[in-house]
Structure 1
Amino acid sequence: MKALTTPPEGCESTSKLIRADHKPVEWLISSEPVPYPAALAAMQARAMAIAAGEAGEAVWLLEHPALYTAGTSAVPGDLLSDRLPVYDAGRGGQYTYHGPGQRVAYIMLDLRERGRDIRCLVQGLEGWVIDTLAAHNIAGERRTGRIGVWVDRPDKGAGKEDKIAAIGVRVSKWVTFHGISLNVDPDLSHYDGIVPCGITDQGVTSFEDLGQLVSMPEVDSVLRRCFEQRFGPTMSSAAEGLVSAS
């Protein structure tokens, strides 16, 4: 499988995804796991408010309790276990896992101010993750025909690779929600209960699985720095207000 190490034509410059007015994005971090239904409701409410011009953009970092989510393309047979609750995600894609030790970043951006190009947005999100991994000496890569970020695993055999980050975005009225999930130190055995993202011939990995022992705050700091390089400035805000307003 050929790796894509650069964005496609038309997405080379990160300036396309930076607002012309450089208005900062609210940067929110929840310190406790957030139930999935509450997060979904909060995201949807914030996206609607952004579209209506009643709220600014936001990136929300959090963890969920252990659970599975089903995208609109989920195949029932890919749910292999009922060990964890399953939620309809309302996004594209198939089954995925969320849980403690996985950094979820929900992205609520106004594409009317960022080029109106969903393909470049996805490439920008992949690049954001790849930059974050590189700062931790992990070589993340794109793969042709597959959204997400992958790591070569020659230790597992020729041609083997593992997915370290999933990306699933929904866009309504040119405002994004959902986002990325990056495996820091989750319980990877929970992936045994699904066929993750419909992929049967490759595995799943994490910072910890790759021998990189880092704390979630350390990852968050790098995520923020790398986000700002691709999407522009951020400003800290309280995540509690986002949940309570939903």
Structure 2
Amino acid sequence: MDLYMATKPGPIEWQINKIPVDYAAAVAEMERRVAAIRDGAKPELVWLLDHPPLYTAGTSAREEDLLDPHYLPVHHTGRGGRYTYHGPGQRIAYVMLDLSRRERDVRCHVHRLEEWLIRTLARFDVQGERREGRVGVWVVRADGAEEKIAAIGVRVRRWVTYHGLALNIDPELAHYRGIVPCGIAEHGVTSLAALGVAATMTEVDAALRTTFAEIFEAASSPEMPCRLPHSREKIAKITD
């Protein structure tokens, strides 16, 4: 058996699914892969996919944020965060990295996920921004309103990360009506398509691969400092 144990990060495997993946099956596959990464049996993995329409409830989900429990299937999951929507037209990236080979700092990991999204959006001339205390990436409309374009929720098991992020490319935004997305009622959600950007999934995937290397392969260099805009309480995580 090939072993991937190392003191430094090795090659990262990429997997792309072209058709929606059942959510429960995806979580089970992530958990198997996380165990294999921790044991040194498999390399780290970035998995790009989407799901059939559904809601997921993170570990901080509040009952009152599920506005219509019958609108779409609801999956309770071990990732951090509250309610979010997944469906076709999103690019979901499940990121399985061993922080023992990088930095054992979950806030830094979340910061870099945000930076990854911001740089990817910049490839399409969209300015993504952070907001202190609101994990994820936001855009500001011409009228000053802020809307969320990408959500982040992670879990960490024995310092191996999983779950990850969801970037709205051209999803059915009306499906968000059954929840309060991420527990934030005062701001809306948007997508590249809603912003007038006609990006294909293939184009977004290519941008994600390029910018991932900029962020995570340079993670320990002075060019990629880890700023911490979120308190530890705001970082949606579980470690076990």
Fold shared per TM-score above 0.5: yes
Mapping for residues 77-116 of structure 1, pairs under 5 Å: 77-81=64-68, 82-116=70-104
The Cα offsets for residues 137-186 of structure 1, whole Å up to 9 and x where unpaired, read as 0000000111000001133xx4x100000011100100000000000000
Give the structure 2 partner of residue 229 of structure 1: 214
Comparing both chains, which one has the higher relative contact order based on Cα–Cα distances under 8 Å and sequence gaps of 6 or more?
Answer: 1
2:106 to 102, 113, 118: 118
Give the structure 1 partner of residue 122 of structure 2: 134
2:189 to 193, 204, 229: 204
Give the structure 1 partner of residue 14 of structure 2: 27
Kindly indicate whether residue 155 of structure 2 is the aligned counterpart of residue 167 of structure 1.
no
2:132 to 141, 144, 147: 144
* Count of residues in Structure 1 that have an aligned counterpart in Structure 2: 212
TM superposition score normalised by structure 1: 0.84
Q: How far did residue 80 of structure 1 move?
A: 1.1
Secondary structure of 2:125 counterpart: coil
Tell me, in whole angstroms, the C-alpha distance in 1 between the residues paired with 2:136 and 2:77. 17
Amino acid at match of 2:183: G
Tell me, in whole angstroms, the C-alpha distance in 1 between the residues paired with 2:63 and 2:184. 14
The worse-fitting range, judged by mean Cα deviation, of 19-28 and 111-120 is: 19-28
Identity of aligned residues (%): 58
Q: Would you tell me which structure has more helix in proportion to its own residues?
A: 1
Mapping for residues 27-46 of structure 1, pairs under 5 Å: 27-46=14-33
Q: How far did residue 21 of structure 1 move?
A: 4.3
Q: Which structure 1 residue ranges, 4+ long, deviate > 2 Å from structure 2? A: 19-22
Amino acid at match of 1:71: G
Amino acid at match of 1:46: R
Q: How far did residue 83 of structure 1 move?
A: 1.2
Secondary structure of 1:73 counterpart: coil
Unaligned 5+ runs, structure 2: 1-5, 219-240
Secondary structure of 2:121 counterpart: helix
- Provide closer, same or farther for how the CA distance between residues 111 and 21 of structure 1 changes in structure 2, counting only shifts above 3 A: closer
Give the structure 2 partner of residue 58 of structure 1: 45
Q: How far did residue 20 of structure 1 move?
A: 7.1
Q: Contact (CA 8 Å) 1:184, 1:216: kept in 2 or not?
A: yes
